[in-house]
Amino acid sequence: MALIPATLTTASAAEAPAPAVPSVTTGKQTTDPQKVRDFWTPERVARALANEKKDRARVTRDAAVARAAAEATENKDQSSSSAPRLTAEAPRILPAKKTGVSTTAAADVPEMPVAQEVPFPQNAPATIVGKILYIDDAGEEHGCSGASISADGNNTVWTAGHCVHPGDGRGSDGFYDLVLFIPGYKESLDTPGEYDAPWGEWAAQSFVAPEAWTQDKDYNEGDLATFTVQAPAGYTNLTDTVGALGYKFGYGSDWPDIIDSGFPGEGYNRTDMDGYTQFYCTGDVVDAMNWNPLDNRLEMNCDMGAGASGGPMATTEGQIVGANSHVETDGQDQRINDHLYSSDHGDQAVAVINAINDAN
């Protein structure tokens, strides 16, 4: 697999100073992978889904604080916004030949802010997206979404930073435990309230997140992360099993025809999301604060909520450009619109994907 290394977006790199590569935090999950899989009983998964709404409220409050700080910088020195930027990209990879693989991709997509159920959730590329489960320091269960991403080693997941680390300054010691990725995750048809893992349960191994998240909890640029997984018995690697989305990092915050997907347990004015079903929105993504060059978050009209965090915002060519991070709420933690935000996937995202490739 050929990955395109970090480059400059300027016409002549020799005429501009090389951009500084942001620092990242690495960590490992040392719990035995089979113990990770065994931990996630249906009862614990149900508790993780129940906690997702509480998690969404906390993340949204933290992001609002970050947004206020960004607005305060509007009239300050903004010279860093014109500095050369890093870029990195890789194409989507289809799974090894299997039945039930759909490779059709529309040239453009309609504006669909009201999320719909994914029509063929057990066909590629839908199976690339999965559920992430983890416990925090208090031992409480939580859930997010994520996606298999094209990377060296063929066993890598992309998600939001807050799905693997609290951003509390602890660095390598802060990564969550019992982290599990379940591609194509769904509710059991035979036993409602339980879940099926038709494409295996993949325990996390190594984590990479930007210091902008682990140290600073920066929702503008840092709420992104990646981790490698170990193949369960009977599987070769994640990419061969379900495929992998590519990525296009460092190319700005405005994108037409984006497909956003995840496993929401709630949504804006929705009562039909259960945390077991994959939903998707389509439409354009814009710079959330175009008037402030220091805040390049991605904004999409999509009513998915808690549980969809970490799910990919991807082009129709299957390249990740963002990951679901947070929404907007009022003083009573009630969501006020269908805006769904991602951190800017620029220099920080390039540093993270390059670090995980180097480690593999």
Other Cβ atoms less than 10 A from the Cβ of 122: the count is 15
Task: Find, among 148, 122, 115, 111, the residue nearest to 237 by Cα.
Answer: 148
Residues 117/277, Cβ–Cβ less than 8 Å: yes
What is the helix (H) or strand (E) element at residue 145, kind and residue range?
A: strand 141-148
- What is the SS3 assignment for 315? strand
- What is the SS3 assignment for 286? strand
CA distance 146 to 131: 6
On the question of a cis peptide bond just before residue 293, with omega within 30 degrees of 0, the verdict is no
pLDDT in the model for residue 4: 39
Residues 281/270, Cβ–Cβ less than 8 Å: no
Find the length of the chain: 360
Model-level pTM? 0.91
Token pair 């480690």 in the structure block, residue: 359
pLDDT in the model for residue 104: 47
What pLDDT tens digit does each residue of the chain (360 aa) get? 334 344 433 333 455 667 789 999 999 999 999 999 999 999 999 999 999 988 888 898 888 877 776 666 554 444 445 567 899 999 999 999 754 555 444 457 889 999 999 999 999 999 999 999 999 999 999 999 999 999 999 999 999 999 999 999 999 999 999 999 999 999 998 888 889 999 999 999 999 999 999 999 999 999 999 999 999 999 999 999 999 999 999 999 999 999 999 999 999 999 999 999 999 999 999 999 887 777 899 999 999 999 999 999 999 999 999 999 999 999 888 999 999 999 999 999 999 999 999 998
Task: Find, among 264, 277, 226, the residue nearest to 247 by Cα.
Answer: 226
Residue 131 phi, psi dihedral angles, 5° rounding: -95, 140
